[in-house]
Structure 1
Amino acid sequence: MLRHVVAQVFGNFGQAARLTLLLTFLPMGLLLVLFLSTGATLDPSMGQGDMPNPGMIFLLVLAGIVVSAITYCWAAVGWHRFVLLEEYGNGLVPRWHGGFVLSYIGRAILLGIVVFLIAFVSSLVLGGLLFALPGVVSLLVVTGWVLGMSWVITRLGLILPAAALGEPMSIGESWRATAPVATDLLVPLFIIALAMSVLGGLVNLVFQGSVLGFIPQGLLYWIQILLNLSLMTTLYGTQVQGRTLN
C-alpha cells in the first residue's frame, strides 16, 4: 500500500504539480500580500497609532480561511478524480466541479467535527495518565495518540474521495469499508509521518531558521498533503471500487 501511494504521487509528479501546487500556495500568497498591504508588521517597536485596523485584519484572516478551504478542496477533488477517473486538469488547475467541491467541504467539516469530538474525549482520558508516566513513556504515548488519530481520520475519510466522485457514503460505511485493512494502514501512516518529520528536521538544521527554509518546508508540506490524499484515494479504489494494488 505504501509503495502504491508513493508511486502514485511521484509517478505522476508533473500532473500532481499542475493539479495542486498553485491551489495549495495561492491563498498563502494572497493573504500575505493583503496582510502587508494593511501596514501590518512584526516590529515590536511599532507604535500603537501605526497598527492596522484589527477589524480589517480579522476579515482578511477569515477571508484567507475561506479561500484556503475552497482551493484546498478544489485541488483535492481534482487529484481524486485524476487518479480514479483519469480526469486531467485545465492548465495549472483542475477542472472546476462546484457541486463536488461544496460536497467535499461539507463532508470535510463533518469529518472534522467527529474527529474533534473523538480527540477531545480521548485527550481527557489520556491527560490524566500522562502525569503518572515517566517523560519518555509520556512522549511515546502522545506519539501513539497522534498516530491513532491519523488512523481514525483515514478510516473515516473515504467520504472525501466519494464526494469528489459524487458518490454517497456515510462515515459508518467508510469505517466498515476500511476494516479489512485497518492494521495495514498503520504502516504507511507511520512511515509517511516519520519521513516528513525527519526531512523537516533536516531542513531546519540546514537553514537554521532562515527565511529561505520556508521554501523546502512548503514543498514538504505540499508533498505530505499529496501522500495523505493518495492514501485515501488508494483505499477508496481498493476497498470501495474493488481495484487491486499494482
Structure 2
Amino acid sequence: MGESRDSRAMFTFLALWVRPVMNGLMGKEWHGQEKLPVGTGMIVCPNHVTEIDPVVVGHFLYNQGVMPHFLAKASLFKVPVVGWILRTIKQVPVERTSAGANRSLEAAREALADGGGIIIYPEGTLTRDPDMWPMKGRTGAARLALQTGAPVVPMAQWGAHELFPRYAKRFYLFPRKRSRVLVGDPVDLSEFRDAPLTRTTLDAATDRILDAITELLAELRGEEPPAERWDPADKQQKRMGRNVGAQDDDKNPGEPLTGGEP
C-alpha cells in the first residue's frame, strides 16, 4: 500500500511553495533522520512550543520521504477548499463523540497502513512550562501505538519559537533563525503491549514517550531539564486554549520566555 496518487500530488503541490518559504525563513540543522523507520507507518511525537511547529515538523518529514498526517479539528474539514485539501492529503479529523473517535482511529490506522507518519503532540497543546520543556502529557499517542503496534518515534525541535514566539502576533524575521531537529530511536513500549489499556498503562507509556522527547530536547538545548514535569492542573492552569494573561505574548525572541502563565 501507499499514499494515493491524489494525496501525493497535493503534497507535491503544497511543498512547491511551503519548502522555499521555510528554507528562506530558517536555516536547517537536522539530525537523526536515519532513525526514522523504513517501509512502515510510524507515530511521530515531537515537543510543542509554538503554533508553527506543525509546519517545521511537516517540512522535516516530507524532506525524508515521509508523508506527514496531523490530527486536525473536525470543524476544519467543513471549511471550503481547506477541508478538501485536508481530506485529499489524508489528515486525520478529531471529533469529541465516541463515534467520531472511532472514525479518527480508523483514519489514523489507514494512514499508518499507507506508510505515512501520524504526528501526535503528546502534550496535546503548546507547553505551559514557562521554560518551554515538555509538560505532562495526554495518552492519545500511547493508546494509538498500543492498539496498532506502530513504532513511536520521539522528536525534539527547537528554534521555531524564535521566528514566531508562542502566542505571538507577528514573525521575527531578523536575524535569520535556525530550525534544529533531533530524532531519537523508537521508544520501547514492549512491556506495555500485552497489558490492558488501563489509565495506569497509558500514563506509564505516555511518560516513557515524554521522557524520550525531553532527553532529546535537553541535548538540543545543552541544558538540564527540570526534575519534575510541569503539570497545568497543579498550577491551576487551563490545559487547552490561549491564556489571556500570557506574559510571553508577542515578546521579542531575544528576551527570555519566562514567568507568567503561558
Tell me the TM-score normalised to structure 2 length: 0.28
- Greater strand fraction, Structure 1 or Structure 2: 2
Structure with the larger helix share: 1
Please give the TM-score of this superposition, normalised by the length of structure 1. Answer: 0.29
Highest Rg: 1 or 2? 1
